[in-house]
Amino acid sequence: MNLLMCPVCRESLKLTERTWRCGNHHSYDVAKQGYVNLHVVQHKHSKNPGDTPESVQARRAFLSGGFYAPLQQAVVSKIRQLRIENLLDIGCGEGYYTNAMQAEVLQCVGVDIAKNAIQVAAKLNKDVTWVVGTGATLPVMDHSIDLCTSLFSPIPEQEILRVLKSEGYLLVATPATEHLLAMREALFEEVNPHDSHKFVDQLAGNFDLVDAQVIDAPMCLEQQDLKNLIAMTPYAYKAKPERRLALEQEQQFELNAQFQIYVFKKKEST
């Protein structure tokens, strides 16, 4: 089935050669890199929304080192257990996780608001439908998705409810309590533990929590990997420049990434 939805009239899109078209003659060309831009101008709040090119490149370099592979493998394992067909990865970024998810499903859509991130992602895996789009209007049809995933990304709850099938799932990955604690302690005078449980409370009205798991990924980073990690996080611009520069002088740095994974199931009444 065709999963994509026209962002203008909300009709189903069909792919003919290299153009997605709806019944109302709106059309969207597939770019030479292999993605389609469904983030129409009337939905934009800035000229270049989403991550900066520098952040995208830093994340691509860091993740290709395998440091977050424990999370990627855990997410793939959860998807395999669910035995689903259609997956939508919300805020897919440069595609590190989406690329691995695709092998477990029949159809995989990766959507991100940052065009530069999707341009990088589209080179990874031609079997993923890569889309520039916004969580405010997810560019897929009503009740067409078995599983939405949001890894370190926003959770547009009402849109997720719209696109999920009646028995659909939502997988969320978010920083656990101790995530990158050593790095945060180096960058900030005051460090508060991450509150991952807030998502359980936020989603309780429409979703049942069916699984929860914490994943630890201890690592010892060389200087360039450490710089990439800092650059791909919000800490890059939240920390005082002198603290960031001091940390970037470290030749080696030991720390632990800690991830919280939640799997929710859509309540029958929603």
Annotated binding site: 6, 9, 22, 26, 68, 94-95, 179
Long-range contacts of 192-195 (CB under 8 A, 24+ apart): 194/260
- The DSSP symbol for 76 reads H
Residue numbering of the annotated binding site for Zn(2+)? 6, 9, 22, 26
Residue numbering of the annotated binding site for S-adenosyl-L-methionine? 68, 94-95, 179
Contact between residue 135 and residue 39 where contact means Cβ atoms under 8 Å apart: no
Contact between residue 4 and residue 108 where contact means Cβ atoms under 8 Å apart: no
Please name the residue that has the structure tokens 């490149």: 57
Cβ count near 66 (within 10 Å): 11
Please name the residue that has the structure tokens 């998807």: 79
Phi then psi for residue 17, to 5 deg, are 55, -110
E strand map for the chain? 14-16, 19-21, 27-29, 35-37, 86-90, 107-112, 129-132, 145-151, 164-175, 207-222, 252-266
Counting Cα atoms < 13 Å in the Cβ hemisphere of 178 gives 10
Q: Could you tell me the two tokens for 14?
A: 């069909």
Q: Which residues of 224-241 are buried (b: 16+ CB within 10 A; e: fewer)?
A: ebbbbbbbbbebbeebee
